[in-house]
Chains A and B, each alone.
Chain A
Amino acid sequence: AQSVTQPDIHITVSEGASLELRCNYSYGATPYLFWYVQSPGQGLQLLLKYFSGDTLVQGIKGFEAEFKRSQSSFNLRKPSVHWSDAAEYFCAVGVTGTASKLTFGTGTRLQVTL
């Protein structure tokens, strides 16, 4: 069965600093990978996705992620964090099949200090 690990439960960065959130997955075939962001009291919003092709994918709000098959990783990055980026971030792996089921990591809560 597939699984996703987000090793960092909580991260604090200063506004303007760079950010990298880690995500490692376990899946026997080529994965479909997603990053979602959740603001307090809100649902999940898609930041970016990887299906195939270029391993560096660009998303909304200035985020990017790089798929590294050899490391089974899909880390999320942003060069300069804004205070409004404070939220919880979830990595997810999609399973091929007749339904687009997702398996989520446990999330990383990002705090941004001014």
Chain B
Amino acid sequence: NAGVTQTPKFRVLKTGQSMTLLCAQDMNHEYMYWYRQDPGMGLRLIHYSVGEGTTAKGEVPDGYNVSRLKKQNFLLGLESAAPSQTSVYFCASNSPGQRRYSNQPQHFGDGTRLSIL
């Protein structure tokens, strides 16, 4: 049972290059999220999606774009990478709770370590 799979696991980019991080989940979850983790700052939400074809901004969306064309996939794009985007990126997914507006735990991938020179 794969759960949440992130590719690639590591990547080094030069400033100004573009790339896409892929997140795939096989749990039929409705919601998907992208976070970045930086030392001493915990995880911060970049963008999220509540269903296929929908996306929304999180806490730190600038410099990133996302797409959710298929329910199982959530893509995170960097159009013009900057050194400030050096981070570890985590994807997560979950589904709505049984009760309206309840929170179900999020399932996390193993992360993508991205360095921008």
Residues of B within 8 A of A45 (CB): 108
Which of the residues B4, B41, B44, B45 comes within 8 Å of A43, measured between beta carbons?
Answer: B4
Encoded as 1 (CB less than 8 Å from any B CB) or 0, chain A from 36 to 66 comes to: 1000011111100101000000000000000
Q: Is the CB of A51 within 8 A of B90?
A: no
Residues of A within 8 A of B43 (CB): 44, 90, 102, 104
- Which residues from 74 to 112 on chain A have a C-beta closer than 8 Å to any C-beta of chain B? 90, 94-107
Q: Is A34 an interface residue (CB 8 A)?
A: yes
Q: Is the CB of A100 within 8 A of B42?
A: no
In the assembly, what is the distance between CA of A99 and CA of B49, in Å?
8
In the assembly, what is the distance between CA of A102 and CA of B43, in Å?
9
Q: Is the CB of B110 within 8 A of A100?
A: no
Residues of A within 8 A of B45 (CB): 101-103
Q: How many residues of A contact B (CB 8 A)?
A: 28
- Which residues from 1 to 40 on chain B have a C-beta closer than 8 Å to any C-beta of chain A? 4, 31, 33, 40
Residues of B within 8 A of A94 (CB): 103
Interface size class on chain B is: 20 to 34
Q: Is the CB of B4 within 8 A of A101?
A: no
Q: Is the CB of B42 within 8 A of A90?
A: yes
A43-B90, A101-B48 known; A96+B101 contact, CB < 8 A: yes
Encoded as 1 (CB less than 8 Å from any A CB) or 0, chain B from 46 to 67 comes to: 0010100000101000000000
Q: Is the CB of A106 within 8 A of B40?
A: yes
- Which residues from 59 to 117 on chain B have a C-beta closer than 8 Å to any C-beta of chain A? 90, 92, 94, 96-97, 101-111
Which of the residues A43, A51, A106 comes within 8 Å of B42, measured between beta carbons?
Answer: A106
Residues of B within 8 A of A4 (CB): 42
Residues of B within 8 A of A51 (CB): 97, 102-103
Which of the residues B33, B103, B108, B109 comes within 8 Å of A96, measured between beta carbons?
Answer: B103
On A, residues with C-beta under 8 Å from B are: 4, 9, 32, 34, 36, 41-46, 49, 51, 90, 94-107
20 contacts between A and B (CB under 8 A): A9-B40, A32-B102, A43-B4, A43-B90, A44-B43, A46-B107, A49-B105, A51-B97, A96-B101, A98-B50, A98-B101, A99-B48, A100-B106, A101-B33, A102-B43, A102-B103, A102-B106, A104-B42, A104-B44, A106-B41
